[in-house]
Structure formats: structure tokens, C-alpha cells
Structure 1
């Protein structure tokens, strides 16, 4: 197999494994889990339709180590210069893209998991680049920039194709996510439990999350 094919094959692992992991965690029949396990020998399972693969309580991805191209595809390319444009216009365009399911292959969007600041970890309030567990676990990236984080979310939980690094769409999503980051900081000030709760009730997968019972803010 040539390198290009290895890359294409490798990039599909992280996007397809999550549903099988969640099924196992929830105690679904082993046969059902095996049938949807993209790591199984000879598996022809379709891409997982799991919009919450980025859930910080999810099990680590056993296929990550088999993906030699994940980090390279999601890191800023050499000589990278992002698209520049009117900030207000980029934010408006990014807001639309945030809910655009056409960026995915599993009928999800950024808003599927992040509406009303759901499913963000406390580290989202920190200036980028910084450490993000999902980036470490799926691509071995110890530090990640915001534009790389956008690409990672599109490629992994949304199972989509990363955007062109020089594209207006990527710049727009980054601009809108920067506004989300500002809003999240205010949200944390008003809701002291938000930063401690990676399994918030607003998370569309909260009810299925095996970590929910460990939520220190549940009673509050």
C-alpha cells in the first residue's frame, strides 16, 4: 500500500471508532459492538454517527496509534498564512458554518455538541495554543492552535474533511469560535459549576455518558 492510501485509510480510524467505544461502555450486546468496530479485522463498518466523540469522558481511541497521518493532516502547514478579511463578516459567516451539517459525514455540526457552551472543557477559556486531551489522544498533538482545533473537530467527531488552510470558511469558523471563547469565559463566571462539569446537562450525549454519575455539580 502506498503512503497516500495509508494516509487516507489512517484518517478514517478516529472518525469511525467512537460509536463502538460508546456502545461497549453502555453495555450493548457484544455482537452489536463487534459489527460496528472499525478496528476489527476485515471490518466494513460505515463511519460512526457519533456527534459526541469529542466528549472528554469518552474512552481513549485504540485506533489513534494506527493513524500515522492524523497529526500531520491537522497541523498548520509550513508557511501557513490564514485568510484575512473583515472580522465582523467572518464572525457572521462562522456562526452559520457552526451549525452547518454539510461539513460532516454523520449529520452533525459544531453546534450539535456545543450549543449554549455545552461540552467545552475549562481549558477552552485559556489562550491558544494549549493542551487539549482530545488532540493528544487522537493525534498525539501536545499543544494545539485554535485553527488546528477547528480542523480536528471537523475531522474527528464530525467525520468530515478538514478545510483548506487558506480558506475563508476556516477563518470564519476560527473567528466565530473566538467569540464563543469570550462568551464561555463569561458563562463560567456566572456558572461556577460549568468548568468542573464536562458532562453538562446541555450535552446531547449527557444521558448516555457513563461519567455522568461522577459529576460533582450534579446536585447543584
Structure 2
């Protein structure tokens, strides 16, 4: 069981996950930066009251946001947003819902029950990307938010039928 828990960071919280035959096949499990232990100070990720987010030409912000989404220079560890989310990957089905909405990673790491999109971007800057949050009124945050809204519009949650391991996963939703 210890080897399965090491291969699957969810195993400690979900004992049946250790028996998941696909857990050992997950190449990201051991290196998943989102699974790292530790808490994130909610003051860093919750938009301060009275904050005015930058606004501008949406088409330009989307274009800049797409470039930033792929830019590893935003992080201190060589990651970009696209590292985790290439091809719309690693979004929970809830990503399709309008913000603010619950995000398990934000709840687990900061105790934040519901996040706005810009707050989730700040969270990702800190946790997987190991960087400082962006200034709340920055063009970068506005651009990443604008681009992610476009990604969200085209997002279609993947059903378990498309995941060959889901059928073998004793923890999968039934």
C-alpha cells in the first residue's frame, strides 16, 4: 500500500485510491506540483476589497493572455499555465461552471470555498508555478483572465467513458 500511496498522492485521503490499478501508471502523480503539501495564505489569493481590475480591449487581452498562458517565465520552476492545462487537460468538470465556483485545490490549500477566476489564476501562480501572485491591477492578470474565459467557453468536461482507467478506478463516481 505504501508504494501505491507514493505513486498516488490522493491515496492517503482516499484509501480505495491505493487500489486504483491506474495510479502507478500516472506519470504526473509523483511530480504533481498541485499535490505538494502546505497551505497558501488566503490573503494572497483573495482579491482585496475595492480592487479595480485592469480593463481594456478584450481581443488584445485575449491575445496577450494566450501568450502568457504558454510563458514559462511567469514561474520560478519552468512551468506555464499550459504545462498543466495543455489541450484543456487538468480542469475539473466544475471549470465549465460560471465563476465564482468551488475549486477543490483552493479549498484544500487555502480554505477558500468559492473562487473568482482571477483569484484562481493567483492561486495557480503560487502553487504549481511557485511564483508570486500578479498585481491585481496588472495587464498580465487581466490578460490571463480574458484568455481563460475563452478557454472556459470551449471547455467540455470529459466523461469517465473517455478515460480508460476510470472504469477500473474503485473511487470513480458511479
TM-score if structure 2 supplies the norm length? Answer: 0.75
Structure 1 gap segments, 5+ residues each? 1-21, 28-49, 189-193
Partner residue of 1:18?
none
C-alpha separation in 1, matches of 2:122 and 2:42: 11
Describe the shift of the 1:175–1:200 C-alpha distance in structure 2 as closer, same or farther (beyond 3 A).
farther
What pairs with 1:1-220 in structure 2 (closer than 5 Å)? 25-26=6-7, 50=31, 52-54=32-34, 58=35, 61=37, 63-64=38-39, 70-184=41-155, 187-188=156-157, 194-196=158-160, 214=169
Q: CA deviation at 1:195?
A: 4.3
C-alpha separation in 1, matches of 2:74 and 2:141: 11
Give yes or no for contact 1:71–1:141 (8 Å, CA) kept in 2.
yes
Q: Size of the alignment, in residue pairs?
A: 149
Give yes or no for contact 2:135–2:141 (8 Å, CA) kept in 1.
yes
Q: CA deviation at 1:90?
A: 0.1
Structure 2 gap segments, 5+ residues each? 9-30
C-alpha separation in 2, matches of 1:103 and 1:109: 7
Greater than 2 Å deviation, 4+ residue runs: none
Q: CA deviation at 1:53?
A: 2.8
Secondary structure at the aligned position of 1:142 is classed as: coil
Higher relative contact order (CA 8 A, sep 6+): 2
